[in-house]
Copies of this chain bind each other. A is one copy, B any other.
Amino acid sequence: MANVKIVPLGGLGEVGKNMMCIEYGRNILVIDAGMMFPESDMPGVDYILPDWGYLRDKKDRIRAMLVTHGHQDHIGALPHFLEEFDVPVYATRLTRGLIEVRLEKSRQLDKVTLNTFAPGDVVNIGPFVVEPYHVCHSIPDTVGLGITTPAGLIVHTGDFKFDHTPVDGWPTDYAKLAEFSVRGVQVLLSDSTNADQPGNTPSEMVLNDAFHQIMREAPGRVIVATFSSLISRVQQVVDVAVSHGRKVAIAGKSMIENTEMARELGYLDIADDQLIELDRIGELPPREVLIMATGSQGEPMAVLSRLATGRHATLTIEPGDTVVLSSHTIPGNEEMTHAVINRLFRRGADVVYSPIANVHVSGHASQEEQKLLINLLNPRFFVPIHGELRHLKQHGKLARQAGIPEENIAVVENGCPLIFEGNRLVVGERIAGDHVYVDGALVGETGPRVIQERDDLSQSGFVVAVVRYDRKKGQAVGKPRILTHGFVFEPDSEDLLARAQDVARAAASVPPNTGEEKVEKEVEAALSRFFYRETKRRPVVTAAVVKS
């Protein structure tokens, strides 16, 4: 019996979100290579790669990298991946454009093979037939994948929603889904992001009313912040603004890059005379200005945060400005985003955000759409992907409600291969693997131990005691030095630190010929006890005992 392996890779994040493999014999298709952003308990980490260690000894088997769409969590790890693996990439036109922008930055563009595929194409890759089909999502040119394998047809939704009135007029391809259904779908891998949201995700179109009201009523400039990859949102906001006689300025590096590229490729329709350079908006009355900007997550280096703290080179918030955050706040970013909103208010702007106004909708299917897809495709096996365990469990419940038998639903986490044998889907043995942290120039070297140390330091800082030590006498020489950082405010703590010198000195009073390492342990233990007693804090305490 044909034996196809489906492997979601990555650490304990959203399952299969950043990378999945489909494997048959000595042939592997890889789907997406995205990055994750660090959570607040991963200090100092810049971003996270999925762990593709599983593929390292199978380099010659990888036939293709298939990319579903151009968001960072699906393409952000490509530069790192393509450095290790020389495989042809397949993507739609806009997605390819976004990949090219990234690869140009990392100077890899002339080293990799990029292929364009389009919805409706039928691409033969080794023993697989790959059929990308159009889906609605919060970026144009997103596809799901029909993958015919020797064990049957697998459908991978990518990120999707059913939007009957999408901004670009191009709904999810129902006909193709019906065709798959007629052919018989063996395994459905479906986006679980919104599995805890009842009902249907609203159409992008519902935002028009809110934007019309804002553009009409705003007494001055309107500044709309959103993700720079949300090309269709940019189109929508620009169309409404232009209809109210406003010209458009673009602010923020990624917003400029992405809108330029999308205009070149024809995915964003803004006439030249509707645009104005950011440094020339002063020539227009404020009521005739729209600024599209980055920073809707409160990111400290993006435009919105700079405006909120008065650190932008050319723009300053003025009373009469209206700022719109057209985005969902990613969990973990709430405090930063709220701080930016409060600061913008403090500078005199009016700030509009969800739920105050209807200025954002999700790009992912909610429960009713997820059930619709299951009924449309009528798959034999169901595998919820793209979500944390809580989303997958919920999506599994929905699939049961929609008639998939319990035993045909596989909820697995990253690293758990599913072995699909046509009439059976079994969970294989877990593959070792975890997050791969990118920390400055260090890829994969910063591990849980270092992260734990950073967390300890962030709680109470550190104290280093430098003790000159006469081993023959078993005594400190002179006063030990106490260095601290992040523990107490030194000018107010002279007395505490002076007493700590005495404590360190006393602890270094040991039998003659005691070794330095033992003295270091004594000093560390004595200082830890002393500081806890005096302050109820536990700084990281290190002693350096130096031969005198």
CB distance from A459 to the nearest CB of B (A): 4
Overall SS of chain A's interface: mixed
User: How many residues on A have C-beta within 8 angstroms of the other chain's C-beta atoms?
Assistant: 68
From known contacts A449-B489, A483-B544, A540-B485, infer whether A345 and B389 are also in contact, taking CB-CB under 8 Å.
yes
Whether the pair A331, B335 counts as a contact (CB closer than 8 A) is: yes
Chain B positions within 8 Å of A487 at CB level: 450
- 1/0 per residue, CB under 8 A from B, across A215-230: the answer is 0000000000000000
A151 within 8 A of B: no
Q: Which of A334-348 contact B (CB under 8 A)?
A: 334-335, 338, 341-342, 345-346
Chain B positions within 8 Å of A345 at CB level: 389-390, 393
Pick the contact of A544: B389, B456, B466 (CB < 8 A): B466
From known contacts A197-B355, A356-B394, A390-B341, infer whether A458 and B454 are also in contact, taking CB-CB under 8 Å.
yes
Whether the pair A388, B535 counts as a contact (CB closer than 8 A) is: no
Give the distance in Å from the alpha carbon of A454 to the alpha carbon of B485 in the complex: 7
Pick from A39, A40, A442 the residue with the most CB of B within 10 Å: A442
From known contacts A338-B331, A489-B449, A492-B445, infer whether A483 and B459 are also in contact, taking CB-CB under 8 Å.
no
Instruction: List the B residue with the shortest CB-CB distance to A39.
Output: B335
Whether the pair B355, A198 counts as a contact (CB closer than 8 A) is: yes
A455 within 8 A of B: yes
Chain B positions within 8 Å of A535 at CB level: 439-442
A536 within 8 A of B: yes
Chain B positions within 8 Å of A462 at CB level: 457, 462, 485
A362 within 8 A of B: no
Instruction: List the B residue with the shortest CB-CB distance to A491.
Output: B449
Give the distance in Å from the alpha carbon of A461 to the alpha carbon of B455 in the complex: 9
Chain B positions within 8 Å of A40 at CB level: 40, 335
